[in-house]
Amino acid sequence: MAKLNKIERTCVVCRKKTDQHLLHRIRCVDKKLVSFNHDGRSFYICALCIEDEKKLQKALKRQCRNNDDYVHQLKEIIEYVR
């Protein structure tokens, strides 16, 4: 029998590994957060970390290498994807 491996990725906020399908995949383009479209570099955020705005803001600044407020943009993307 073939062994099926689960794909795990790491949340950039809490650094916990979890199944890829349980995470939101986001990328930063020209100082804006966008949903991943299979082009360029991206990062993953778990649903629990989206609720913790302080840690989320710090992680998004680190990922996008900018001091803009990304929490509002991220929440809009998540609502659009749902």
Phi, psi (rounded to 5 degrees) for 30 = 50, 50
36-78 per-position pLDDT tens digit: 888 888 999 998 998 888 888 888 888 888 777 777 788 777 7
Domains and CATH numbers, the chain: 8-81 (3.30.1230.10)
* Whole-prediction pTM: 0.79
CA distance linking residue 67 with residue 58, whole number of Å = 9
Band (2; pLDDT cuts 50, 70, 90)? low
22-30 mean pLDDT: 89
